[in-house]
Amino acid sequence: RFLSLLIIAAAFVIGGATAFCSSTVSMQRRSPRLPLPNLQARRQHNEEPEDVIPSFHRRSLLASTFAAAYCSCCFPSSADAVIELTQPSTKLRPRSKLIDSIFADQMATGMTDYEKEVEKYKAELFQKLFNSIGGENSSGTSIPVIVEVGMGTFPNAKYYAQALSSSTIELKGLDIVGVDPNSSMSSYAQDNARLYGLSSSLRTVNGVAEDLPFADGSVDAIVTTLTLCSVVDQTKALSEIRRVLKPNGGKFLFWEHVLSEDNKTLALQQALLNPVQTFSADGCHLNRRTGMNIQKVFDGKVDLNYMTLEGKWVIAPTTFGIATV
């Protein structure tokens, strides 16, 4: 009887797992249209998005040279571009363009209820981040470099816009670099960037969390939301995140679903369904203790929180917070 129930549960998860989580470094939904904050030097909300891809999203000649080994990076012509991208040391694993396209579309539309549930918590978290970064960087500008690992469809765009407009630190702009192995996510991310007035701030690059294309100590802040569940090697990914963060103050904002800490029945369900989830949701794991691993890599310098969301079943247990280098 137990085996029969497990098979039924597995069939259920296969049908709906892609709505639960992101892929290898986060596949997320397209954000709903919300009022755009009044941001200086950014487009107003009543402007219609351009039908063409901005110039900074075109493939560069350099990227095309390495097309056989790597997906192209996107270098903007915007003044907000501060950090230079480096060449990854490893090749990306082959991916199916068809599956990636389907998954990106599902994540752009299938996480609406989840994002509504977590909106107030994410907004507070991003505000804390923006209130803690600023000042002149190595290039002499007050434009922080923020890397979102597993950006997906960029559902966090609204939090960047809201936090930027109300930050206690005056910033001249942002240099946001989205890293994701699924190139089909990029168009959704660019749409959300335009929607929230961040077009001049965003670049996207194909890559993985275990091999970030940035120099040591070059990034002001890194963001992951529903990402670390899907990376192949979580410890290596976290170590890589710490490597590229600036010493003495670099920030790491995270929001991740994890193994339940306070519900043994739910934890058992997560463990039993994990193989099905991993197979059907592009590497997403239900049984990781991500908060514990973050504390280890960041030597305990972590504002760590845990909660269980209502009605989200196996992805309800959540750890979130900000770690500091």
Spatial CB neighbours of 98, under 8 Å, sequence gap ≥ 6: none
Quick check: 194 pLDDT over 80?
Answer: yes
CA distances from residue 198 to 54, 78, 176, 313 in whole angstroms, order as listed: 12, 11, 9, 34
Is it the case that residue 187 has pLDDT exceeding 60?
Answer: yes
Return the structure tokens found at 307.
Answer: 């909660």
Reported as half-sphere exposure (CB side, CA atoms, 13 A), residue 220 has a value of 24
* Most confident listed range (25-34, 137-146, 205-214): 205-214
> pLDDT tens digits for 147-167?
999 999 999 999 999 998 888
Spatial distance between the Cα atoms of 215 and 54, rounded to a whole number of angstroms: 26
User: What's the mean pLDDT when you consider all of the chain?
Assistant: 79
Q: Report the range of poorest mean pLDDT among 46-55, 196-205, 213-222.
A: 46-55
| Residue with tokens 């749409």, as numbered in its chain | 191
pLDDT tens profile 255-287: 999 999 999 999 999 999 999 999 988 899 999
Nearest to 81 by CA among 170, 17, 147: 147
Query: Of 154, 292, 167, which Cα lies nearest the Cα of 227?
Result: 154
Helices (H) and strands (E) in the chain, counts: 9, 7
Beta strands in the chain (DSSP E): 145-149, 175-180, 202-206, 221-225, 251-257, 302-308, 317-324
Distance CA 23, CA 281 (A): 6
pLDDT at 166: 85
- Give residue 8's pLDDT band: very low, low, confident or very high (50, 70, 90): very low
Query: Which residues lie closer than 8 Å to 39 by C-beta, 6 or more apart?
Result: 161, 164, 165, 197
pLDDT band at 242 (very low <50, low <70, confident <90, very high): very high
Q: Residue 190 CA to chain centroid, in angstroms?
A: 14
Q: Check: CB of residue 85 under 8 Å from CB of residue 213.
A: yes
50-107 per-position pLDDT tens digit: 333 333 333 333 333 333 333 333 333 343 567 888 877 677 778 899 999 999 999 9
Residues 76 and 191: their CA atoms lie apart, in Å, by: 16
Residue, of 271 and 37, whose pLDDT is higher: 271
Query: Which of 158-167, 190-199, 291-300 has the lowest average pLDDT?
Result: 158-167
Question: In the prediction, which pLDDT does 140 show?
Answer: 52
What confidence tier does 236 reach under pLDDT thresholds 50, 70, 90? Answer: very high
Residue 135 has pLDDT above 70, yes or no: no
Beta strand pairing status for 317-324 and 251-257?
antiparallel
At residue 25, the 3 state secondary structure works out as coil
Q: Can you tell me the distance from the alpha carbon of 262 to that of 279, in angstroms, rounded to the nearest whole number?
A: 26
**What CA–CA distance (Å, rounded) separates 92 from 206?**
8
Both tokens of residue 113?
């209820």
Q: What pLDDT was estimated at residue 324? A: 97
Global pTM? 0.75
User: In terms of Cα–Cα distance, which of 76, 81, 34, 31 is closest to 55?
Assistant: 76
